[in-house]
Amino acid sequence: MESRQVRHFLAAYDSGTFAGAGEMLGLSQQAVSKSILRLEAQLGVRLFERDGRRVRPTSYAELFLPHARTIAAETDRFRADLGDMLGGRHGRLRIGVGPSAAADVVATAVKALLAERPNVRLSAMAGIYEMMVNDLLLGKLDVIVAVRQVDRHDPLIREEALGDIRYVVLAGASHPLAGRGPLKLGELKGARWLAGANIGAVEHAIEASFRAEGLPRPRPEIETTSVIFTLAMLDAGTHLAILPEMLVTRDLEIGRLVRIDVDAEPWTRSLIVATRVRAPKPPVVDAFMENLVAAMR
């Protein structure tokens, strides 16, 4: 089996036709078809059922798929690492960073890593965990650090919990509720709310707390994925928001925001670090994860 055959298989699987695979790869349809026929002969199984111009993956193709993606990802990783070594770099690290809570922890760990390994080539890309998983599986990312928003299990992904992130009710310093003592959830009735989009399973815990008091879950006037916009709106003192406390530590310290203490069970989600199960972990990944653990302390 050759790595180019693996790429031809992946292109055909993703495009659904040999012609489409050829366009993706810059090859003719016949070249892709012959390559996959040779791969099928070597494996001794049929990977695609030919149906006119389209091809349908067989159960053998589905079995081969995660292995093929790993082979392609690790081949790309080796070529990148080799290029870095030839260029005087010592290791490459590609991090997927979840919005909000993960940013400070990752930044602290990265600064420590670069102090230890100044020749590391590093990139950090932001995104929602569920959207970054595919890039992790494809080898475009080496590690993801994010709040787990959806409880699920993927046998190809290794998840390790770094600790819990607490979500709290926040307001601008000029909000009418700022400076009040602990409040019952019922005292928030009538408040104007701003909510982060895609905050995931923690919404269920928040809703359960309000339901236990016989109250509906707060309905936001505004939904946003922008942290900068959220902070600007809270500055006006007109809205409340529920956000990860870690996200706004500095704003709380300088008094830009205030925490509204409410009588409810803590709302938490796990901050996790995710890596591919089948991929070898280079020393730079292990070093980064050690620094992550230290940063969480």
Could you tell me whether strands 240-244 and 157-172 are parallel, antiparallel, or unpaired per DSSP bridges? antiparallel
**pLDDT at residue 76, as a whole number:** 75
pLDDT digits (tens, 9 = 90+) for 33-45: 899 999 999 999 9
Answer left, alpha or beta for residue 241, where phi above 0 means left and psi between -120 and 50 means alpha: beta
Q: Can you say whether the dihedral through the CA atoms of 277, 282, 288, 289 is positive or negative? A: positive
Q: Percentage of the chain with pLDDT > 70?
A: 91
Task: Give me the phi and psi of 98, to 5 degrees please.
Answer: -70, 155
C-alpha to C-alpha distance for 271 and 166, rounded to whole angstroms: 10
Q: What is the mean pLDDT of residues 133-145?
A: 86
The pLDDT-based confidence of 259 (bands split at 50, 70, 90) is: very high
H or E segment to which residue 51 belongs = strand 48-51
Is the pLDDT at 89 greater than 60? The verdict is no
Question: What residues contact 55, with CB distance under 8 A and at least 6 apart?
Answer: 12, 16, 17, 18, 48, 49
CA distances from 253 to 65, 77, 105, 173 (A): 49, 42, 17, 12
What global pTM score does this model have?
0.66
Q: Which residues pair with 57 in a beta bridge?
A: 48
Closest CA to 78 of 277, 279, 274, 273: 279
Closest CA to 22 of 13, 11, 14: 11
Is residue 240 within 8 A of residue 194, CB to CB? The reply is: yes
Question: What residues contact 37, with CB distance under 8 A and at least 6 apart?
Answer: none
Provide the mean pLDDT of the chain: 85
H or E segment to which residue 147 belongs = strand 143-147
Closest CA to 163 of 246, 93, 243: 246
Q: What is the mean pLDDT of residues 55-62?
A: 90
C-alpha to C-alpha distance for 30 and 33, rounded to whole angstroms: 5
**pLDDT at residue 151, as a whole number:** 65
C-alpha to C-alpha distance for 119 and 142, rounded to whole angstroms: 17
Class of residue 273 by CB neighbours under 10 A (exposed 0-12, middle 13-18, buried 19+): buried
Is residue 194 within 8 A of residue 239, CB to CB? The reply is: yes
- For residues 160 and 197, the model is more confident at 160
Is residue 64 within 8 A of residue 43, CB to CB? The reply is: yes
Class of residue 88 by CB neighbours under 10 A (exposed 0-12, middle 13-18, buried 19+): exposed
Q: Which residue has the tokens 């099928």?
A: 40
**pLDDT at residue 87, as a whole number:** 55
The pLDDT-based confidence of 152 (bands split at 50, 70, 90) is: low
Residues 89, 92, 98, 100, Cα dihedral to 10°? -20
Is the pLDDT at 14 greater than 80? The verdict is yes
